[in-house]
Amino acid sequence: MAHYAKVKENIVIEVMVAEEEFFENFVDTSPGVWIQTSYNTYGGKHTQGGTPLRKNYASVGYTYDADRDAFIPPQPYKSWLLNEETCLWEPPVAIPEGDELYIWDENSLAWVVDKED
């Protein structure tokens, strides 16, 4: 089985699983283009030791960047920066180590202890 993402105006609008033989003969006349994605690819690495494909497994709402040939998740916060190697968003400050559960506070640009825990 293979996974394919339908991309319209650089945004993933659908993800489909199909046999490669089926997809070779699949006809879709709606706007957009189908691009193969790998369920086992995350952060530019294949989780099963295979060859990574397009940096990340595509999901609805992801952006497809043709120049990077990568699927990029939505930016979670305005302050987070895109890691060019993994095509994942990273906070401007590393999460503290320890047993506490932290959440990102965009107003203070800092990790704070989750008080709901």
Give φ, ψ of 47 to 5 degrees.
-70, -15
Contact 20, 2 (CB under 8 A): yes
- Residue 55 structure tokens: 């940096």
pLDDT for the residue 27: 78
pLDDT at 21: 78
- pLDDT, tens digit only, all 117 positions of the chain: 899 999 999 999 999 998 877 777 777 888 999 999 999 999 999 999 999 999 999 999 999 999 999 999 999 999 999 999 999 999 999 999 989 999 999 999 999 999 875
pLDDT score for 87: 98
pLDDT value of residue 117: 53
pTM of the predicted structure, to 2 decimals? 0.89
Q: What is the pLDDT of residue 115?
A: 84
Closest CA relative to residue 58, chosen from 86, 80, 37, 87? 37
Looking up tokens 């895109």 gives 82
